[in-house]
Amino acid sequence: MNGRQPPLPFGRFRNILLATDGSEFSRGAEMLTIALVLRFGGRVTAVQVALFNPELDTLSMSLSQQQEKTTWQSLGKVKERMNRQGVSCTLLVKQESHPLLGILDAAVEVNADLVVMGRRGRWGLTRLMFGDTAARIVAQSPNTALVVPREGGSLWNTSILLATDGSSFSDRAGEEATILAKEAGLPLRVISVVENRSRAPHTEIANAAVERAVAHAKNAGVMVHGAVLEGYPTANVIAAEAYNTGAGLVVGGSHGRTGLDRLLIGSVMERLFGHVSCPVLVVKGGRGPRS
């Protein structure tokens, strides 16, 4: 046993990890975390990574000490803002050479059920060298993640868009999207994307995935509509549908990957971040016991 507790239905998170860099790019994630806790409950840990260069730090310890001091000051402001809204939080600073490492470590340390983060960040030169931090965290973390644009700090109040490919990860995402839609009293739109409808096997899988998700939502009493869409790249089709329907949240499933294939290929959900103006919930894990 690894000590991890079984997953909870969305809206009943035990531990939410807010990953922030203290900049305006994290403000949407911060505000949405506040809204989630006020609506659904849960504990919050706010983490910020104090970046350091191992080679430079061997020459001057004062550099890392100053960076850590500045990071604590930045987190203190986050705590003050959250307290003013009636939400308490624990603060955590991680010293790492890249924010990815610190956030992944923090998620394990607090046994996070959900990681909330901004879509972009002010991470310095490491961001330019290593690419998009949010996408890499989602790719390599086993945690469900909510990626929030800078202006996305309000709870969704229009509709929810679920993108499914028929995998067990998408089935789990469908369960979470259904719970969210029911809790918020919002309609759910379910889509699956195929490059060409004339390719029978792919279209059949897509149809079955949509029908399964729609049936699950209907059984839960959620207003739901489904469709199989045609187009490529898949992320662009999903983004266009989110825009056309005015979705307040996009939900999808994903599995964690490491290594070169992650850097070269990525996943549909990770590619979606830069194409939509609403938050994106990436659900991790296939079917399993629910409490």
pLDDT (0 to 100) of residue 158: 96
Task: Note the CATH number of domain 160-284.
Answer: 3.40.50.620
In the CATH scheme, what is the homologous superfamily, with its name and number, of domain 15-148?
HUPs (3.40.50.620)
pLDDT (0 to 100) of residue 5: 53
User: Which string of DSSP letters, residue by residue, matches 121-177?
Assistant: ---THHHHHH--HHHHHHHH-SSEEEEE-TT--S---S-EEEE--SSHHHHHHHHHH
Asked, as a colleague might, if the bond just before 149 is cis with ω within 30 of 0, I would say: no
Q: Are 53 and 97 in contact (CB under 8 A)?
A: yes
Distance CA 147, CA 170 (A): 17
pLDDT (0 to 100) of residue 152: 82
pLDDT tens for residues 228-259? 999 999 999 999 999 999 999 999 998 644 44
Eight-class DSSP state of 42: -
pLDDT (0 to 100) of residue 2: 45
User: Which string of DSSP letters, residue by residue, matches 55-87?
Assistant: HHHTT-HHHHHHHHHHHHHHHHHHHHHHHHTT-
pLDDT (0 to 100) of residue 109: 96
Q: Is 237 helix (H, G, I), strand (E, B) or coil?
A: helix
Residue ranges of the chain assigned to CATH 3.40.50.620: 15-148, 160-284
Q: Is 2 helix (H, G, I), strand (E, B) or coil?
A: coil
pLDDT tens for residues 83-124? 999 999 999 999 888 888 999 999 999 999 999 999 875 544
pLDDT (0 to 100) of residue 191: 97
Q: How many CB atoms lie within 10 A of CB 234?
A: 20
pLDDT (0 to 100) of residue 54: 63
Nearest to 139 by CA among 4, 277, 273, 2: 273
Q: How many CB atoms lie within 10 A of CB 219?
A: 9
pTM: 0.87
Tens-digit pLDDT profile for the chain (291 aa)? 344 555 455 446 789 999 998 888 899 999 999 999 998 889 999 999 988 766 655 555 566 778 888 999 999 999 999 999 999 999 999 988 888 899 999 999 999 999 999 987 554 433 433 347 788 888 888 899 999 998 887 899 999 999 999 988 899 999 999 999 998 999 999 999 999 988 888 899 999 999 999 999 999 999 999 999 999 999 999 999 999 999 999 999 986 444 444 433 347 888 888 899 999 999 986 443 333
